């Protein structure tokens, strides 16, 4: 079920439906005095987004769309996107374990990361997981593991086209000094890539990922075109199709300014078709690795306001939404701003005159503020603040600062009319938090040696 609507040709998230869900969550006690924060994921919206992604690429070329597990490292979410037709892109043994636990077939999983261990590679190869090597040393390691072995899975090499950085340096992976992939513009690197395809008959894929948030469609297309041109060169040199698939990575920027879905996956695919038409002529199978763009706008976080106060002539709301949930927003507010709505304790949205206020979190440092100087309806204790577009990387990747228990995450659907909820991850208990902090080893250090 698609939960967006057309508005002047632009797709927009249905804000009225979201407000109805918040009211239902408050009524059900999923967030409020007892459960002071919770994340919510729109099941209908995710399904609609995946359907849109698949439609954007059409049926003229074989495409494996994989979901970047890091964007929402939750087994039920991975099961949902797999059911909708996606595979998984994983970047660690933990992410691989989550994808397998979700029932994603090994043949629909791609392993990326710049520091895979020998054991990690051996395990992936044994399962039949596709692997993108980051560098030439890793190719040599794979060759040793494959020695005399038949039936290897798809194996690729990641390249860095060095086309430049987007507006957020930390999210840009195709800059001159990026740690990822083989830098194509460095002296001798291109020749070494060509030689690697001569040396390793099992190498059949090129992988590129220009970056994520803050990277324009033009920048992404430039990186993809450079990689396609390299694939064409490899194949001309071999006199046959040595590279038969190209992994395009992911990285579609998400609009955090309002409810509009822009750019869309259809915009992305159309831009690539115009910039790299040869990519879609059927000669190459394609892989995508979208994460944030699949789930970000299909999720929100709600948190209780515990207190309010006036400081320096400005009202501050002390809430349970802070750096432990919105880490990037708190530490890099210019790069990762969030929109905030205010709802009454019963979940209905507050309207009326606005005033400039800060929305602060519960963490014990002064910078724990998710929104500064925002014009919002007057916030009162017991209200709920709602952080928009947090379906990716927020409640699924919490920070353990101050040992604040991880909140519950709930999926929801309005298919059929009524709002229905399902738990994705339950709230962490204090006992679980204590165990994670080494509770069973409480005497371990004091037992080492005698007293001084």
Q: What is the CATH number of the domain that holds 305?
A: 2.40.37.10
Q: What was the pLDDT predicted at 177? A: 87
Q: Spell out the alpha helix ranges (H) of 102-255.
A: 118-127, 136-146, 189-199, 217-238
Return the number of other C-beta atoms located less than 10 Å from residue 365's C-beta. 12
Show the tokens assigned to 395.
């409640």
Do 318 and 224 lie in a common domain? no
Do 206 and 252 lie in a common domain? yes
Q: What was the pLDDT predicted at 5? A: 57
Do 98 and 207 lie in a common domain? yes
Cα 252 to Cα 210: distance, rounded to the nearest angstrom = 10
Q: What was the pLDDT predicted at 447? A: 92
Domain assignment present for residue 44? The answer is: no
Instruction: Please say whether the beta carbons of 155 and 141 come within 8 A.
Output: no
What's the residue count for the chain? 452
Do 226 and 118 lie in a common domain? yes
Our count of domains for the chain comes to 2
Do 271 and 343 lie in a common domain? no
Q: Which residues of the chain are under the pLDDT cut of 50? A: 1, 8-9
Do 348 and 384 lie in a common domain? yes
Instruction: Please say whether the beta carbons of 283 and 271 come within 8 A.
Output: no
Which is nearest to 323 in space by CA: 301, 345, 352, 343? 301
Q: What was the pLDDT predicted at 215? A: 85
Q: What was the pLDDT predicted at 45? A: 97
Q: Read off φ and ψ for residue 270, nearest 5 degrees.
A: -65, -40
Q: Which domain holds residue 378?
A: 297-436
- What tens digit of pLDDT does each residue of 283-314 get? 999 999 999 999 999 999 999 999 999 999 99
Domain assignment present for residue 27? The answer is: no
Do 384 and 301 lie in a common domain? yes
Q: What was the pLDDT predicted at 175? A: 81
Do 283 and 367 lie in a common domain? no
Q: What was the pLDDT predicted at 451? A: 65
Handedness of CA 440, 409, 124, 249 (dihedral sign): negative
Q: What is the CATH number of the domain that holds 227?
A: 3.20.20.10
Q: What was the pLDDT predicted at 361? A: 98
Handedness of CA 54, 59, 60, 61 (dihedral sign): positive
Full-model pTM: 0.94
Domain assignment present for residue 232? The answer is: yes
Cα 436 to Cα 400: distance, rounded to the nearest angstrom = 11
Instruction: Please say whether the beta carbons of 197 and 238 come within 8 A.
Output: yes
Domain assignment present for residue 43? The answer is: no
Q: Is the omega angle on the peptide bond into residue 263 within 30 degrees of 0, that is, cis?
A: yes
Kindly calculate the radius of gyration of the chain based on its CA atoms and give it in whole angstroms. Answer: 24
Q: What was the pLDDT predicted at 396? A: 81
Do 133 and 274 lie in a common domain? yes
Q: What was the pLDDT predicted at 8? A: 43
Q: What was the pLDDT predicted at 349? A: 97
Q: Read off φ and ψ for residue 349, nearest 5 degrees.
A: -75, 140
Do 110 and 238 lie in a common domain? yes
Do 82 and 98 lie in a common domain? yes
Domain assignment present for residue 171? The answer is: yes
Cα 434 to Cα 447: distance, rounded to the nearest angstrom = 20
Place of tokens 């698609």: 2
């Amino acid at each position: 079920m698609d939960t967006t609507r057309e508005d002047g040709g632009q797709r927009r998230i249905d804000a009225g439906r979201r407000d109805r869900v918040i009211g239902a969550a408050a009524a059900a006690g999923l967030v409020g005095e007892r459960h002071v924060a919770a994340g919510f994921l729109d099941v209908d919206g995710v399904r609609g987004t995946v359907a849109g992604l698949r439609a954007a690429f059409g049926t003229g070329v074989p495409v494996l769309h994989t979901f970047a597990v890091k964007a929402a490292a939750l087994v039920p979410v991975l099961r949902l996107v797999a059911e909708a037709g996606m595979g998984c892109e994983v970047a660690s043994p933990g992410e691989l374990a989550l994808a397998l636990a979700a029932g994603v077939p090994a043949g629909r999983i791609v392993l990326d990361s710049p520091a895979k261990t020998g054991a990690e590679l051996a395990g992936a190869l044994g399962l039949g997981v596709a692997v993108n090597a980051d560098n030439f040393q890793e190719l040599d390691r794979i060759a040793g593991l494959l020695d005399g072995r038949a039936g290897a899975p798809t194996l690729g090499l990641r390249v860095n086209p060095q086309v430049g950085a987007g507006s957020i340096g930390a999210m840009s992976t195709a800059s001159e000094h990026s740690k990822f992939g083989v830098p194509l513009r460095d002296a001798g690197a291109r020749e070494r890539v060509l030689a690697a395809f001569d040396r390793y008959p099992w190498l059949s894929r090129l992988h590129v990922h220009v970056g994520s948030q803050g990277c324009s469609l033009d920048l992404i297309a430039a990186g993809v075109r450079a990689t396609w041109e390299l694939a064409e060169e490899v194949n001309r040199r071999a006199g046959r199709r040595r590279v038969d698939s190209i992994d395009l990575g992911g990285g579609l920027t998400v609009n955090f300014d309002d409810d509009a879905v822009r750019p869309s996956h259809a915009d992305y695919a159309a831009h690539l078709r115009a910039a790299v038409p040869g990519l879609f002529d059927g000669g190459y199978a394609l892989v995508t690795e979208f994460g944030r763009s699949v789930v970000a706008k299909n999720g929100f976080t709600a948190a209780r306001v515990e207190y309010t106060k006036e400081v320096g002539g400005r009202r501050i709301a002390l809430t349970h939404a802070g750096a432990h949930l919105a880490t990037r927003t708190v530490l890099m507010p210019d790069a990762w701003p969030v929109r905030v709505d205010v709802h009454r304790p019963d979940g209905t949205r507050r309207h009326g005159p606005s005033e400039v206020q800060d929305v602060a979190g519960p963490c014990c440092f002064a910078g724990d503020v998710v929104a500064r100087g925002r014009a919002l309806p007057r916030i009162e204790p017991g209200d709920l603040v709602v952080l928009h577009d947090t379906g990716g990387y927020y409640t699924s990747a919490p920070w353990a600062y101050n040992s604040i228990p991880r909140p519950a995450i709930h999926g929801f659907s309005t298919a059929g009319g009524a709002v229905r909820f399902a738990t994705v991850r339950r709230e962490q208990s204090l006992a679980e938090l204590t165990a994670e902090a080494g509770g069973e080893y409480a005497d371990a250090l004091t037992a080492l040696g005698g007293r001084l």
